[in-house]
């Protein structure tokens, strides 16, 4: 657990948002050609080159979305293959645009159709070799009898949504101490999700714990951020919020270890203690 690479959603978005940027840069000369044709009043040339440029941009945009989905697929040990083959669709758009551009340079001669089709096919092949095509098989390792990939992914996706909500609320809390403690809590939560991906059999033991922990933390954090935004927080409320965070962080730290040790009894007992604490504080 300690040596696991921590997932940074911001870094992930930047990394796979940048990938494929070359696809947006390469068609720029076509845009210049389209503008020059427009200035010279060449309507047909403007329509063709403008359409080709737009097709390139559409293909590049679709490809970038495909890169992001593939990055998420590769990051996770258990993942569904993308339901829509975005990279393949992007490759088709780009290859059609390239073939059309090649045919246009031949003044749409009938004898140039086959060479242009070959140019488009070569473009598709080049895209596939350089960027690869979409994953087509689900990744599911370590699943045991009675645990399906759908159950695991649904639980992980739901937990990630709650963690993201806690992170968003944390950014609206201007108390550095509370912000740091919430970050530690969400980091631990992501480590538990990683451990479930490593061994999906842990899901049955972690499901209740994650629900109580994440639901309670999300509610109290969003409530605190919403109620005290831009206001002077009374000392009593600061103390109450701090006490709740203490309970959550301490309990989660203890149960993270017990979860990995397969200690069912201690885990359930501590979950009930945490749930009682959250109810007493009016969180859930």
Residue 97 has a pLDDT of 96
- Within-domain flag for 259: yes
**Residues above pLDDT 90, as percent of the chain:** 33
Residue 160 sits in the same domain as residue 126 = no
Q: Which of 7-21, 55-69, 91-105 has the lowest mean pLDDT?
A: 7-21
Tell me: pLDDT of 269 over 80: no
Residue 92 lies in a domain: yes
Point out the domain boundary residue: 131, 162, 177: 131
Q: Are residues 171 and 90 in the same domain?
A: no
Q: Are 62 and 93 in contact (CB under 8 A)?
A: yes
Residue 284 has pLDDT above 50, yes or no: no
**Does one domain contain both 121 and 159?**
no
Inform me whether the pLDDT recorded for 122 exceeds 60: yes
| In contact, 260 and 191? CB cutoff 8 Å | no
The mean per-residue pLDDT over the stretch 77-89 comes to 87
Q: Are residues 17 and 124 in the same domain?
A: yes
Query: Do 24 and 124 share a structural domain?
Result: yes
Asked if residue 271 and residue 167 are part of one domain, the reply reads yes
For Cα atoms 152, 156, 65, give the angle at the middle one, nearest 5 degrees: 110
- Of 31-40, 55-64, 234-243, 255-264, where does mean pLDDT reach its minimum? 255-264
The mean pLDDT value for 132-159 works out to 77
Residue whose C-alpha is closest to residue 252's, from 166, 184, 150: 184
Q: Is residue 163 part of a domain?
A: yes
Q: How many independent structural domains does the chain possess?
A: 2
> Looking at the domain assignment, is residue 140 inside a domain?
no
Token duo for residue 143 = 């699943």
Task: Judge if 17 and 70 occupy the same domain.
Answer: yes
* Domain membership flag for residue 142: no
Domain boundary at 96, 131, 166, which?
Answer: 131
2 belongs to a structural domain: no
175 plus 218 within the same structural domain: yes
155 and 273 both lie in a single domain: yes
Q: Are residues 126 and 164 in the same domain?
A: no
205 and 95 together in one domain: no
Among 100, 131, 162, residue at a domain's last position: 131
- Top mean-pLDDT range of 9-18, 227-236, 264-273: 227-236
pLDDT tens digits, one per residue of 174-191: 888 888 889 888 888 888
Question: Does the pLDDT of residue 123 top 90, yes or no?
Answer: yes
pLDDT of residue 32 exceeding 90, the answer is: yes
Q: What distance in Å separates the CA atoms of residue 189 and residue 253, rounded to the nearest whole number? A: 10
Residue 194 belongs to what domain range?
Answer: 149-280
Label residue 265 by pLDDT band (50, 70, 90).
very low
Going by C-alpha positions, the residue among 130, 139, 127 that lies closest to residue 88 is: 127
34 part of a folded domain: yes
* Residue 220 forms part of a structural domain: yes
Domain identity same for 122 and 154: no
């Amino acid at each position: 657990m300690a040596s696991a690479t921590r997932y940074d959603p911001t870094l992930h978005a930047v990394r796979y948002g940048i990938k494929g940027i070359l696809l947006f840069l390469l068609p720029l000369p076509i845009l210049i050609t389209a503008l020059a044709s427009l200035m010279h009043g060449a309507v047909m040339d403007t329509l063709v080159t403008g359409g080709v440029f737009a097709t390139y941009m559409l293909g590049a945009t679709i490809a970038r979305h495909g890169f992001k989905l593939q990055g998420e697929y590769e990051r996770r040990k258990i993942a569904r293959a993308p339901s829509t083959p975005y990279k393949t669709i992007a490759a088709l758009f780009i290859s059609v645009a390239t073939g059309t551009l090649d045919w246009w340079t031949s003044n749409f001669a009938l004898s140039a159709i086959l060479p242009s089709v070959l140019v488009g096919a070569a473009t598709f092949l080049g895209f596939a070799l350089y960027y690869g095509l979409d994953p087509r098989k689900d990744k599911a390792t370590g699943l045991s009898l009675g645990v399906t990939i759908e159950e695991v992914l649904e639980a992980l996706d739901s937990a990630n949504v709650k963690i993201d909500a806690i992170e968003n609320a944390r950014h609206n809390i201007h108390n550095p101490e509370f912000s740091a403690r919430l970050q530690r809590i969400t980091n631990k939560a992501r480590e538990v999700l990683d451990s479930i991906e490593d061994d999906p059999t842990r899901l049955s033991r972690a499901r209740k714990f994650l629900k109580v922990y994440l639901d309670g933390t999300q509610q109290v954090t969003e409530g605190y951020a919403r109620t005290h935004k831009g206001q002077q927080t009374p000392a009593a409320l600061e103390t109450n919020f701090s006490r709740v965070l203490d309970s959550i962080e301490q309990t989660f730290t203890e149960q993270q270890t017990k979860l990995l040790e397969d200690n069912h009894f201690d885990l359930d007992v501590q979950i009930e203690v945490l749930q009682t604490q959250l109810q007493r504080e009016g969180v859930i």
